[in-house]
Amino acid sequence: MIIDRLYEEVENKGNVCIGLDTNLSYIPAVFLNKYTNIEDGIFEFNKKIIDATMDHAACFKVQIAYYEALGIKGLMAYKRTLEYIRSSGCIAISDTKRGDISDTAKMYAKAHFEGDFETDFITVNPYMGMDR
């Protein structure tokens, strides 16, 4: 199970989780100017952080709101970031804070566990309560 793998990563690397809450204001302009589109700039910035920290981090948390705010190109950077984390053998947590009734929750699960935004974990918000 993936939770067992997370426990193993924590045991081996410690309990550091790298947050990729990639706000454009965090990325140096000189770095962004190297790329012709925002998707590539964000992804390459994230990739450098992942590469520099993967030996010391149990997992990486990617906050979807920063990517959604940039539209399709932001979501493509989000997708590529998740793919890179997972293809590097690391654990990806999608910080989505989704919370809804069961039918809608199933669609969130499909998008993030089987769909284009495949990840290892998602964060949820239980505010909506229980279905009856």
Catalytic (active site) residue 48: no
Burial of 43 per CB tally in 10 Å (0-12, 13-18, 19+) = buried
Catalytic residue among 13, 47, 79, 97: 97
Q: What residue ranges in 21-132 does DSSP mark as E strands?
A: 59-63, 92-98, 121-124
**Angle at 21 (CA atoms; ends 19, 23), nearest 5 degrees:** 145
CA distance 3 to 6: 5
Catalytic residues: 97
